[in-house]
A = this chain, B = another copy of it.
Amino acid sequence: MPETGIINKGLTAGKTGNERCGAEMKKVLMMVHDGFEEVEALTTVDILRRAGCGVTVCSMTGRNVLHGSHGIDVAADAVFGHTVDEDCADIFDALVFPGGLPNAHTLRDDSRATDAANKFHEKGKLVCAICAAPCVLEKAGLLEGRRATSYPGAIDATRCLYSEEKAVKDGKVITSRGVGTALDFALAIAEELCGKQTADRVAASILHKR
């Protein structure tokens, strides 16, 4: 696989989708460690690119090939520490953590991920996690008193307003439950970034009932 790890920040931060949403393309950063859940990660990338967002899959491992939890190797668009770094909250509009183990626990224990979650949140930007990855937001202190969900048992349900909805939005935090809710998660992010009309159009185009 060619060395595609370095993106030109500010110019091409995030591959674009088929169309742009509004005047300015929304830019989404997905932080990924090895052991990520392939469907949760790539459904989100796919749907957001269909909605017109620029999505950057950012490897947190130092390598530009990421190993999924079901044996699928995927090329990252960027490697953290190169052109995507600590100031990512200034550049991107949303931060996404996919699930899968050990990815979600490695992200939780990686201060670059929890610091980014806090910086995005402080700047009023969207922070999103699915399956086991809401534990990253829990560690960052973003779930206290907030409506949220996760894969059953992945977070302490007594320390947030736990919901069993497929995708839960509370303020600028979106959480979801697992592979079976990945489309709903991705479409909830698309709706927040690009509007309900765009999300509904994408859902219809893939024959998914919201």
Contacts and interface: CB of A to CB of B under 8 A. Distances in A.
A203 B179 CA distance: 9
Interface stretch (A41-49, A82-90, A155-163): A41-49
Interface residues of A, number: 35
A195 interface: no
Interface stretch (A66-74, A101-109, A111-119, A133-141): A66-74
A38 interface: yes
Contacts of A2: 65
A122 B208 CA distance: 34
A152 to B, nearest CB: 8
Interface in A151-209: 151, 177-181, 183, 203, 206-209
B65 A1 contact: yes
A198 to B, nearest CB: 16
Nearest to A1: B1
Contacts of A206: 178-180
A38 B39 CA distance: 9
Contacts of A181: 207
Residue from A46, A177, A181, A209 with most neighbouring chain B CB atoms (10 Å): A46
Given A39-B42, A72-B74, A179-B208, 20 more contacts: A1-B65, A1-B73, A2-B65, A4-B73, A39-B39, A43-B43, A45-B70, A45-B71, A45-B72, A46-B72, A49-B71, A50-B70, A73-B74, A73-B75, A151-B207, A177-B207, A178-B207, A179-B207, A180-B206, A180-B207
Interface of A: 1-2, 4, 15, 17, 37-39, 42-43, 45-46, 49-50, 57, 65, 68, 70-75, 151, 177-181, 183, 203, 206-209
Which 3 residue pairs spanning A and B have beta carbons closest together? Answer: A1-B1, A180-B208, A179-B206
